[in-house]
Amino acid sequence: MKRLFFLIAALIAVLSAFAQDYNYVEATDLTIVGKVFPDTPDPYKRMDFGKYGGWTENSVKLLSSSSGIICSFRTDARAITMRTLTENEGGSTRGERGYDLYIKKDGSWLWAGSAYIPKGNDDYKTCTLVEGMAPGMKECIVYFSNFSVIKSAQVGVPAGNVLEPGDKPFKYDIVLYGSSFTHGHGSARCANTIPGFLSRMTGFQFNSLGVAGDCKMQPEYLRALKDAHADAFFFDTFSNPSPKEIRTRTFGFIEEIQATHPGVPLIFIRTIYRENRNFNIRRDAIEKAKIATADSVMAVAVKRYKDVYYIKTSDASTPDHETSLDGTHPSDIGYYLWAESIRKPLVRILRKYGIR
């Protein structure tokens, strides 16, 4: 009889939790960071397409995704949900179509939960990030999906709990322009990206303009980047272009950025070793030529231009080469290793400019 009583009590508690009313607040009414251009007409898209023109259809698609966007808030709730309205819910992983929740513990950001954005663009969809937490105020950040196109994103907590804007979680504004590697292609969770890892490792805000396969220093991207607010620039610009594009575009790219951002560090990184070249002679030759060209061009650039740097230590693999997702993109541990491989030289450079 006692066992039946406890079973009924537990069932009532579960049903009460499901029936509990939630209050939702639009993420833009909290604190949004992570965008190179914070005041876009569509707040969850990363570019003002009217102000900066000349975009291809593919660029519009990529820049419309919410990759790198973070919502910061405080709450005393024991559960946190998200309610989302999408134009396109994204891909199949939580990185491509989900949210990641981190909560500060002992001064560091600790992963707390994640969830898929449910499929369907016709109405708001709700997902739970975490539940069953202890009471008390918590500092929270939610990373947005790397490939979803979001119309509305609302943070939800049970009625009666506090939900208020949080502080900016990371210092400064470092503009990151890069390839699918920095966009987060293939990451199982949307916080497991180069900008995500680097922000948590260093405490500096890396604002993502990662564009999968489309980072070739094109004029339309350059026009926008020249207008960006940046304490520093971080470029993964040698992963997508051909050797010819690297040779013909890099110097002009540097000169135009420096014309509007004198004295701001421009930090370029070498692309990583792609595992699909291991036994493919043609791909191996292409990758060798790309890296050799970038090394050659940047050897000249760092001597010709003040405030230009080139980090060669990029490495997303282990000695046994077991961290590749698909031969091109790293797995989550590969992205972590890549961020860690460049962290120290990156921090040393930034310190020269008072970024510490």
Task: Return all residues near 4 (Cβ < 8 A) that are at least 6 apart.
Answer: none
pTM above 0.85, yes or no: yes
Q: Look-up: residue for tokens 């969809």? A: 125
- Whether 152 and 20 have beta carbons less than 8 Å apart is answered as no
Write out the H or E segment, with its range, that includes residue 115. Answer: strand 108-116
What local confidence, expressed as pLDDT, does residue 91 receive? 86
DSSP 159-209: TTS-EEE---SSEEEEEEEE-HHHHTTT-SSTT-SHHHHHHHHHSEEEEEE
Domain 171-351 sits in CATH at 3.40.50.1110
Task: Return all residues near 14 (Cβ < 8 A) that are at least 6 apart.
Answer: none
Q: Which residues does the chain have with pLDDT short of 70?
A: 1-19
As given in the structure block, the two tokens for residue 129 are: 């990030």
What local confidence, expressed as pLDDT, does residue 122 receive? 87
As given in the structure block, the two tokens for residue 193 are: 């990206």
CATH of 21-165, one of 1.10.10.10, 2.60.120.260, 3.40.50.300, 3.10.290.20: 2.60.120.260
Task: Return all residues near 33 (Cβ < 8 A) that are at least 6 apart.
Answer: 69, 70, 72, 168, 169, 170, 205, 207
Euclidean distance between CA atoms 169 and 13, whole angstroms = 35
Residue 78: CB atoms within 10 Å: 17
Amino acid letter, residue 191: A
In three-state secondary structure terms, 128 is strand
Task: Single out the residue of 179, 288, 296 nearest to residue 247, CA to CA.
Answer: 296
User: pLDDT tens digits, residue range 297-352?
Assistant: 999 999 999 999 999 999 999 999 999 999 999 999 999 999 999 999 999 999 99
Q: Where are the alpha helices (DSSP H) in the chain?
A: 2-19, 57-63, 180-183, 194-202, 219-225, 243-260, 281-304, 332-351
Handedness of CA 24, 30, 33, 36 (dihedral sign): positive
What local confidence, expressed as pLDDT, does residue 16 receive? 43
Euclidean distance between CA atoms 123 and 140, whole angstroms = 26
- Whether 60 and 105 have beta carbons less than 8 Å apart is answered as no
What is the 8-class DSSP label of residue 55?
Answer: -
Q: Look-up: residue for tokens 């291809």? A: 56
In degrees to the nearest 10, what's the CA dihedral of 269, 274, 280, 281? 10
As given in the structure block, the two tokens for residue 66 are: 């919410």
What local confidence, expressed as pLDDT, does residue 246 receive? 98
What local confidence, expressed as pLDDT, does residue 181 receive? 96
Question: Can you give the residue ranges of every domain in the chain?
Answer: 21-165, 171-351
What local confidence, expressed as pLDDT, does residue 14 receive? 41
Task: Single out the residue of 101, 35, 98 nearest to residue 72, CA to CA.
Answer: 101
Task: Return all residues near 118 (Cβ < 8 A) that are at least 6 apart.
Answer: 89, 125, 126, 127
